[in-house]
Amino acid sequence: MMRKNLEYVVCTGSSYLIPDFEEERDYDSGAIILRVSKNEMPENVLGSYDPTHHVIRIRNDLSMNEEMFVGKHESGHARGIIDEGRTDAYAASLTGYNLRGAYISKLRVAW
């Protein structure tokens, strides 16, 4: 999906980022999914969940297996799982892939 222009809307002192395209949502949690470039994430972070805006961000340069695992890992956070080990187990149970086992030195989860 190509990202189009984004519009900031200010309402009662809070800013909200409103995309002007049909948003992709995570089926399990209902969170909005944004695919972002490596430069838009902290170093060595593959994905993150923003609970304030209910948004999952996933780097757009990941392999298919990495993207599936990171997406489901962040979906676990969006569903309320805080513990990293439990979110990894949740993601692995849905994808059949365990990113941490293969890339533990590469991955750092952002909060």
pLDDT of residue 106: 42
pLDDT of residue 11: 43
Q: What is the block-wise mean pLDDT of the chain (111 residues), using blocks of 10 residues?
A: 43 49 82 93 92 95 93 96 92 85 46 37
H or E stretch at 66: helix 64-78
Question: Whole-model pTM above 0.95?
Answer: no
Q: Which three-class secondary structure state does DSSP give residue 104? A: coil
pLDDT of residue 102: 52
* Residues paired with residue 16 on neighbouring β-strands, in sequence order: 9
Whole-angstrom Cα distance, residue 9 to residue 47?
Answer: 25
